[in-house]
Each structure stands twice: as structure tokens, then as C-alpha cells.
Amino acid sequence: MVRPPRPRRKACARMACPLPRSRGCRAKMAEQTSPAMPRGRSVWSLLLAATAPNPGALHLPVVGGEQLDEPCSRDFLALAFRHRLPGLAMAGLAELDVRLTPSAAADLRTAALRDAMMVTRLTARMFTLLDAFAAAGIPARVLKGPPVAALAYAGGAGLRHLRDIDLLVPERWFEPAHRIILGQGFRTLLDIGRLTVAELPRFAHELPYVDEAGCIVELHAARSAHGRGGGQADGFDGDAGSMLPVTGRDVPVDPPAEIFVHLCRHGASHAWTLLKWLADISHLIAAAPDVLDWDVIAARTRRSASQRHVGLALALARDLHGVTPPAALAEFIDTLPPGLAQGLAAGLSDPGKGGPTPIQMARLEVVLASGLGAKAAAIRDFVFAPTIQDARDWPLPRGLLWAARPALYVLRRRRAPA
């Protein structure tokens, strides 16, 4: 005689949850059967469905009216918070008609409301800074942030967790833009030591600031990390840019093709450790008929030598969100080494896995680089390119910093506390 599952585990016992520490998700395989939620369904797959542009493309069982118990509700909440997706997860659960426990649902609503309020504050600060830059004659563009959220989520920018605004200015305008940001009530978050603000773009691609409300602004002189931009344009690449509407006002941004390639490269620069970055890609693809030209994006991808970066993003969107790769870009997936996308996808669902080490990130950069020249450049930059910490701690000319960087790296590692 098979003992029925205990009532408090009823919903979660039907889920093959990947979180080993959850009380409700330790049910035996014999208990994981139900017509409503078949064996093999997990809290992770539920989060994927809730954040996908088309949950039906995942071919998961529809669980209309399902009520999760407290342990599984908390597991779902933990994953949604870890991947910074409370707003999108809440909207997705409503669409799937899956309910959390009242306390977990209240926590999710609170987090989603907090994110929406932060988006409102960040958007207001963005407009203020853009107006101040324009008054000073400083050309600027917004990287990612509210414009991309509005583009990917059909104007529902509040669905997207945002913690900062990235502003790109030409390098010669970096110091004047810095003074304007300070004048707007921000303070810097980076100790640059003996360096001047004008020197900073030689060693770092951004300078972060924060105001009293917790709004973070990152001022960029380049789109990507110093020395690691590959073929992507570092500044204003001679193009006219574009304008995207955000809450009824046009905002200066990169051309849409540049935005998409940049998002793919940005996710790869973080080894795709957060699902929120992939959700942007998946929802942009779903919105593509109205906002993106895949032939133009394919040409931009080749011109910037970003085939593997884009291919990796498409493979992850296909495997995790069920998004069909655009035909014009599908060939880029074939350039990936076997198992790369699968390995990164597996790491996304592992809550106990830490972020990649610098060595692992350097290896990924080499793998994604297109051609021997780009791979050699990635290795060169990792070994020799001085960081802001190098320039701050060692008063050497930049040329000597390049030559001494390997020794400085070893010395710093030896001095680091165990």
C-alpha cells in the first residue's frame, strides 16, 4: 500500500524541484505523480515559463489553477529574486494561473512594486541628466536601462528589474559629464586614487555614481570593458543613433542592431549568470517584427566579430525560453563549441553555484572570440591590460603598467588574505 503524501506537501510533491535544501521538494519519486503537475516539472521550469514571451513554446504541461505550497512558493520566490525578475515572474504566474501562498505572493508583489518605483525614479533621473548634458552641448546615449525595457516589454518597463542607468559619452566629454553628474546630487562609488577623471577611460570603461535615493548611474566612455571590446564599437561609431520613446519622451540610444549585439555581448561578459539578461533577449526577439531588422543585425554581428556572442544568446533563449532563432541569425549558433550553451544553462538553475572566476571569464572570452587574432587579443588583454586597481595602487606610467601587470597580479594574489 502506497502512503499518500502529507497535505502540506501536496503541491510541491508533484514537482521535481532542483533545490536540495527545500523541505517540500524532498518528496520521493513515488510521490511525484499527479494529473495536474506531472513528474519532472520543477520550480525552475516554472520560472522559465513565467518569464518566457510565449510559455506555450516550452511544451510544458499547463497547470491552470495550481496552488503551490509554502516550501515551493518560497523556492520560486528565491529563484525570482536571485535572477532579479519579480515583476516579470508575477505577471507570468498570473498568465499561467499558478498561485503562490498568500505570504509569498505578498512578498512577490512588494518586490515588484519596489522595482517599478525604482524604474520610475531612474527614468526621472535619466531625463534630468540628459537635459543637463544637452544644455552643456554633451552628446550622450543611454545604454540598456529604461529604453531597452520599454522596447522589449511593449512599454511595460516596470516588469524589468533595473538598478542603474548607463550613459555613454565620447571620451573627450567624460570629465565635463562627470562634473554635471556630481552637480545633480550624485557621488562616485569608485575610488580612483591618484588618477584624474580624464585618465580613467584608459583603465576602466565606466564610473559609477549613486544618489541619496539609491539611484545608480554609470558613465561610460566605451560600451565594453577596457581592452575587451572585441570588434564592437567603443564610442560613437559615426552613426546617427536612434531615438526610442520612454513614457512619452524620445531618448537617444544606439541603433537597434547595435543594442541587440551589445546586449548579447553584455550577457556573455557576465557568463549569463542572471536570467533577467536572457529574458531581455527572448522578449526582444518576440517583439522583433515591430522593432528589429534581422538582416541588419546579422550584418552588424559580422562587422563586430560577435558571431559567437550572438549565437550563444540565441542558443540559450531557444533552450530555456523556447524562442525560435531568427533565420538570419541561426547560423551563428553553429559556430559555438559543443556543450557551451548547455553548460551555462545548467549553471543558471544551480542556486549554490557562485559566479565565474576571472580565469573562467578570460577563458570564455577566448572561446567566444572570432579568429586567432581576436583570441590572441583576449589573452593579451587578460595578461597585460592594467586595471583601475593596478593604476590606482602602482604609480607607474601606463606603458610600464602593461609590462609589469603579470607580476603585479601575482603580487596582489599573494598579499590577498586567505
136-190: pLDDT as tens digits: 999 999 998 888 888 888 756 667 888 899 999 998 999 999 999 999 999 999 8
pLDDT at site 247: 86
Of residues 23 and 265, more confidently modeled? 265
Give the rounded percent of residues in the chain with a pLDDT score beyond 70.
80
CA 261 vs. chain centroid, Å, equals 13
Amino acid 22 reads S
Mean local confidence (pLDDT), 233-261: 80
Q: What is the DSSP letter of 28?
A: -
> Alpha-carbon distance 316 to 326, whole Å?
13
pLDDT at site 8: 36
pLDDT at site 63: 61
Report residue 225's pLDDT band, with 50, 70 and 90 as the boundaries: low
Q: Is 350 left (phi over 0), alpha (psi -120 to 50) or beta?
A: beta
pLDDT at site 122: 93
Q: What is the DSSP letter of 322?
A: -
Q: Are 344 and 336 in contact (CB under 8 A)?
A: no
Amino acid 247 reads T
Report residue 348's pLDDT band, with 50, 70 and 90 as the boundaries: confident
pLDDT at site 240: 67
pLDDT at 257 over 50: yes
pLDDT at 26 over 70: no
Q: Please, is 337 exposed, middle or buried when counting C-beta atoms within 10 Å of its C-beta (0-12, 13-18, 19+)?
A: exposed
pTM of the predicted protein model:
0.82
pLDDT at site 199: 82
> Alpha-carbon distance 220 to 49, whole Å?
34
Q: Which residues pair with 99 in a beta bridge?
A: 67
Q: Which of 35-49, 52-66, 271-285 has the highest mean pLDDT?
A: 271-285
Task: Spell out the residues 6+ positions from residue 401 whose beta carbon is closer than 8 angstroms to its own.
Answer: 386, 390, 391, 394, 408
**Edge-to-edge strand list for the sheet holding 164-168:** 141-143, 164-168, 216-220, 206-210, 187-188
pLDDT at 418 over 70: no
pLDDT at 89 over 90: yes
Give the rounded percent of residues in the chain with a pLDDT score beyond 90.
48
Q: Are 152 and 165 in contact (CB under 8 A)?
A: no
Q: Provide the grid cell at 159.
A: 516588469
